[in-house]
Amino acid sequence: MALEKYFVEKKTLLASVVKAFIALFFVFAVVFFLWSVMKYNKIMDEKAEKEAYIEQLQDDIDELEYLVEMPLDDNYKIRIARERLGMCFPDEIIFYTD
């Protein structure tokens, strides 16, 4: 009889230890899941920012390629004088906006 009581008490102690371990494991799993979701969202935001930056750079590259392929005629010279040097024709009216 004494042995049966001894084993019964051990089973309840072992059962409570197993329950505690399962509870801690569950808490760890939930925390790890939430941390992973937050990290994933952060990475996706960074990806979206980098894709927008790449798109902007691609537009700049396309514009520069267009300028390189453009012939050096009078229209090209006039456009460069207007954009880069801020020049204009004497008979033009210029409007400034804020």
With beta carbons less than 8 A apart as the criterion, state whether 87 and 81 touch. Answer: yes
pLDDT at 42: 97
Nearest to 42 by CA among 54, 52, 34: 34
pLDDT at 4: 64
pLDDT interval class at 2 (50, 70, 90): low
Measure the N-to-C terminal CA separation of the chain; round to a whole number of Å: 97
Nearest to 24 by CA among 13, 32, 12, 36: 32
Is pLDDT at 1 greater than 60 in this prediction? no
Interval 21-34 mean pLDDT:
96
Percent of the chain with pLDDT over 70: 89
Is pLDDT at 16 greater than 90 in this prediction? no
Interval 46-60 mean pLDDT:
97
